[in-house]
Amino acid sequence: MQKNNNLRKKEKDREIALERIESLFNQAKEVFKKDSSLSDRYVKIANKIAMKTKTKIPAKFKRNFCKHCLSYLKPGINCRIRTKNKNLIYYCMNCKKYTKFGLKKPK
């Protein structure tokens, strides 16, 4: 009985965490033009929530921030995107590091 309650509580906590992560990324997107440091802060908070609740950040947001410095990325403004050998390469202008994402084959 106790295990079921704990599992339900964890599931509920993860659902709440996903909602908060989504809202933080949406706020980061809106605020980026006015204050980029505030949008970076929103991404850091979202990452902390994800780590604390052991929740994965949704795939639609994974390419929106740098994995190294946790800054919000906006293509053409503070990140450069290139394709090379069937990979998307995101180069962060803040920390000067890059992240590779695999491209899927079109069907």
- pLDDT of amino acid 80: 95
Could you tell me the CATH number of the domain that includes residue 90?
1.20.5.420
CB of 62 closer than 8 Å to CB of 51: no
| 32 found inside a domain | yes
Bridge partner list, 88: 83, 101
| 107 found inside a domain | no
Tens-level pLDDT at each residue, the chain (107 residues): 566 778 788 889 999 999 999 999 999 999 999 999 999 999 999 999 999 999 999 999 999 999 999 999 999 999 999 999 989 999 999 999 999 988 877 77
DSSP classification of residue 99: E
Bridge partner list, 97: none
SS (H, E, C) 46-62: HHHHHHHHCCCCCHHHH
The whole-model pTM stands at: 0.86
**Enclosing domain of residue 89:** 2-102
The dihedrals phi and psi of 79, each to the nearest 5 degrees, come to: -150, 155
Q: Count up the domains in the chain and report the number.
A: 1
| 17 found inside a domain | yes
DSSP classification of residue 69: T
How far apart, in whole angstroms, are the C-alpha atoms of residue 1 and residue 62?
A: 37
CA angle 75, 77, 80 (to 5 degrees): 50
- pLDDT of amino acid 106: 73
CB of 90 closer than 8 Å to CB of 64: no
